Each structure stands twice: as structure tokens, then as C-alpha cells.
Amino acid sequence: MPRVLITGALGQVGTELTLALRERYGVSEVLATDIRTPSPDHPAASGPFKLLDGLDAAGLLSTVQEQGIQEIYHLAALLSAVAEAKPALAWHLNMQSLINVLDTAHACQCRVFAPSSIAVFGPDTPRNLAPQLTSLRPTSMYGVTKVAGELLCDDYARRYGVDVRGLRYPGLISASAPPGGGTTDYSVQMYHAAARGEPYTCFLSSNTALEMLFMPDAVRATLDLMDAPRESLRYPNAYNLAGMSLTPAAIAAEIRRQLHRFDLPHFEVEYAPDPVRQAIADGWPSSIDDAAARQDWHWRPAYDLRRMTGEMLSALTHHPTGGIIHGT
């Protein structure tokens, strides 16, 4: 049973991954870290927690050594929309923190999970079913850091034998934590607005199709990838991952179809595309080919739009028979 450290444990992925890893390995075996203190009701506060900045190389190394850490899940990053506003900070934070994690893993013989993203793709990537192997020329700073991160992980694996793995996450939808400044945040915000009985103004156009994934599927994919035999992985740190190709209009329509189940009022949506986020979205594929993940480690998503919408509205309205299912 490995001792685990999570960076960025208070973020959207970190919140649910912390829960899943503690369910799997035991609360005491998973050290959650972030640059801010969790609220008492946050999953990270349910067990060991430490303030830790991924840019603090010495602090990271000493923590891993003192705690006997064997696996690092590196989730700390500046996401796409925020990175466009602060490109220099995004490059420094995303790249230097990854270098620090990989150096620590090399020194301490740790395994690493370091996620990539749909943001690695660019305008010259096929819009439909973006291949596993294709041109990676993103037009956002977040995408640039993710492409560089994939190459850096390749180098540490080749040069030092570090077992580092990652997934190209699509847009992730979760009820357990607020989104953190990504281009697909509209989807989570839409569910929250509907659950409050409020209208919503979407920052992407109604017909902008992007690959999405419900967070329980993303968590399960993460754990399944880490469980897979290393020799079976052709693209260990950069597997395409897909769930549902969705537009804002499709999500809004499914929400309306299920409002009666939760006694919610009619849901109104207006569209006012934000130039920065719309430009990022227009450079990403509308769907992704994840055949390699399906073949190499038997990946299959469990959620479609209907099931996800029921789970989201149930969780956000605290419906007694619903809720998010972690790691299923």
C-alpha cells in the first residue's frame, strides 16, 4: 500500500481524487497539500494536510522524504482562461512545479501522475475525433505548458526511468468543487445556476462542441491508469481521454428535461461569448479518439449526459436519493 502525496488537493480534480485515494488506501496514507488551508468540511481536511507550494523544491523534497511518500499526484496548475491573462506566471508555475515534482520523484524513486489536457491540441488538429498521435500546436499558454509537460515527462522517463503517467483530460464536470478558471467552466456554472433556480449567461456560443467527462469517470480513469502494468502502456503520460462531445445548448436542454425531478423552475440561458475563452475553445477539437486508452488499459466511460445531469442536479439540490458516486 503506497503512501501518497497530492499537490493542488483543493482544486476541482484534487477534491474528488483525495476522497477516492483515501477510500482506496486509507485516510492516514494520503497527504493532501495545497497553498491554502481547507475549510473544515473539505475532503482534504478529513485526514493529513500540509501547506505546500509546488514551487518550493526543497520543501517538496523534504516532505516526500519525511513522510515516506511513494506516489505523487501533481494537480497544481494555472488553468486555461487564467493562464491567458497571466501567461508568464502560468509558464513559471506549471513548468517549474512539474520539474520540482519530477526531480523529487527521481531522487526518491516515486511514481508520478501528472495530467495533461485537451489544451495540447490546436487549430490544425482534426476537429472530429482528434487522434492520439497528431500535431500539437496549441494557441493558448496553458496548452503550451501541457505540451512541454508531456515532453518533459517523456524525458524523465527515458533519462532517469521515472514512472510518470498522465491523461489528456477533456473538460471536467463536478459538483464537489468550484471550477478553477478553465474554458469549460461554463458547464459546471450552468448546473449551479439551474439548481439555484437562476438564469445563466454562457461565455461560449450555444453550438460550441467540446469533449467533456464527468468527474467520477475522470477519477476512475486516473486510478485505472496508475494500476495498469507499465509494459502495457504505449503513451504513459499522454493518453487521450473522452466521454461526451457536448455543446452548451445540449447541456441546457438536458437540464430542462430533468427540472421536474427536483422541483426546479424553468431554466433560462443566454449566450454572450467571451472573446478569449471562445478563441481557446475554437482551437480545440469537438471530439477525441481515445481508442488507445480503450485498448491498452480497457478504459470505458460510465456516464452519458442524461445520467451525469441527474447526478449533478441531485448533488447540487441535496436530493436525498442522489449524490456523486466517487470512483465508479
Which DSSP category does 40 fall into? Answer: T
Annotated catalytic residue 25: no
Cβ atoms of 160 and 263 closer than 8 Å: no
Cβ atoms of 183 and 281 closer than 8 Å: yes
Rounded (to 5) percent helix, strand, coil in the chain: 45, 15, 40
In sequence order, what E strands does the chain have? 4-7, 30-34, 49-51, 71-74, 111-113, 116-117, 164-165, 167-169, 171-173, 200-202, 210-214, 239-240, 244-246, 269-271
294, three cell numbers: 480503450
Strand partners, 7: 74
Sorted by sequence, the CB contacts under 8 Å of residue 320 that are 6+ apart come out as: none
Cβ atoms of 218 and 260 closer than 8 Å: no
Cα–Cα distance, 19 to 182 (Å, whole number): 22
- Residue closest to 79 by CA, chosen among 247, 219, 301, 276: 276
Which residue of the set 25, 73, 142, 160 is catalytic? 142
3-class state of residue 170 by DSSP: coil
Q: Which residues are catalytic?
A: 142
